[in-house]
Amino acid sequence: LIVLPPEKRAAVHTDATDSVAEEDAVCVLQSLLGDAIPGVGAARVFADMDAWGYTFRLGSARAYVEQDASEAWEWLAHRGLIDLRSKSLVMPQVCA
């Protein structure tokens, strides 16, 4: 849901999108969110994606994110979700 435009979020039930670009970006985003959650970490997220049956050209989720996901990183950066230089999450601004 994080990557979807607001007008699409309300209608989502299970499968959020049929967009390959969004699906690829979500894999990268999951690893970053895993690192941001205490006790989870990217390694666990990568292992979970591999166990769930995700398939990647380089053989694993970690290899995909670290070596083959340049378009996904750019997709996330274009939407303001990550900083491309540091490959880190951009934390949302909290409105008072």
The domain tally of the chain equals: 1
Tell me if 7 is assigned to some domain. no
Tell me if 36 is assigned to some domain. yes
Q: Please give the Cα distance from 86 to 15 (Å, whole number).
A: 30
Tell me if 81 is assigned to some domain. yes
User: Tens digit of pLDDT for each residue in 56-86?
Assistant: 889 999 999 999 999 999 999 999 999 999 9
Domain that holds residue 57: 17-89
Tell me if 66 is assigned to some domain. yes
Tell me if 58 is assigned to some domain. yes
**Per-residue CA distances from 82 to 10, 54, 77 (Å):** 24, 23, 5
Tell me if 85 is assigned to some domain. yes
Q: Give the global pTM.
A: 0.79
Tell me if 5 is assigned to some domain. no
Tell me if 32 is assigned to some domain. yes
